[in-house]
Amino acid sequence: MNLYELTVNDTEKIALNDLLFSDENKAALLQTIKEHQYLDELKKYNLQVDNKILLHGHSGCGKTTTAKAIATALNKNIVIINLSTLINARIGETSKNVKAIFDKAIREKAVLFLDEFDQIGKSRDSEDKDVAEMKRLVNTIIQLMDYFPSESLLICATNHYHNIDTALLRRFQIRLKFEMPNESELDVYYDKILAPFPIHLQDIKRKYNVSYAEAKDYVHTTMKKQIIAELELRNN
């Protein structure tokens, strides 16, 4: 498996204003973005910008979207990799693949987004994998993080924060937790994603106690059924 099979250069542009998360998270991200926008000026005072961010919490609550929005705000490419895919590829080549991916992000001064970061912690204790290789992988990533240049950003995401090696956790300057949305937050999201559809189709039963991703999938499935039903009725 080569480098291009492992990575995805995502071109989707997402505005920060489109993100739905806590004010605390938003403030932290805005500060980070401003630091990178004034990177050269801050360097004059030997001030290092924060460029290693961990996004953790429930699945489907906006971690990947947040990484894309940061890349959009900074006008940077984003390189996306799912660590479970990389680790399950060829175990003996994992460290080499990780280094190649970091090198790619550094060359492009890009945002490197590592999804399912907890796979590193889980794999070290797994009975069906080479434990020594996993320990070498953690050591490799620690070294890569320590020397990751300020012109690039490393963003990692996990649904299982406590499974990550503590030595890796210490490398992140920013750790942002993503919570499941409450009813009022979901209503705002429903209003937004329903807006493009005809008004007479927008009055659907809303599901709560779900993630943003689940709400989006539910609306799109419902809309497809309603639109197809109308078209079939019209054709008959």
pLDDT at 224: 96
User: Which of the four pLDDT bands, split at 50, 70 and 90, describes residue 15?
Assistant: confident
Helices (H), 55-118: 63-73, 83-87, 94-108
Local structure of 79: helix, strand or coil: strand
Task: Give mean pLDDT, residues 113-124.
Answer: 76
Q: In this predicted model, which residue has the larger pLDDT, 36 or 95?
A: 36
pLDDT at 105 > cutoff 90: yes
What's the whole-model pTM score? Answer: 0.84
pLDDT at 123: 52
User: Which of the four pLDDT bands, split at 50, 70 and 90, describes residue 175?
Assistant: very high
Local structure of 61: helix, strand or coil: coil
Residue 214 near residue 180, CB atoms below 8 Å: no
Task: Give mean pLDDT, residues 53-71.
Answer: 91
pLDDT at 140: 87
Residue 227 near residue 202, CB atoms below 8 Å: no
Task: Give mean pLDDT, residues 207-215.
Answer: 94
Task: Give mean pLDDT, residues 214-235.
Answer: 94
pLDDT at 122 > cutoff 80: no
Q: How far apart are CA 198 and CA 152, in angstroms?
A: 42
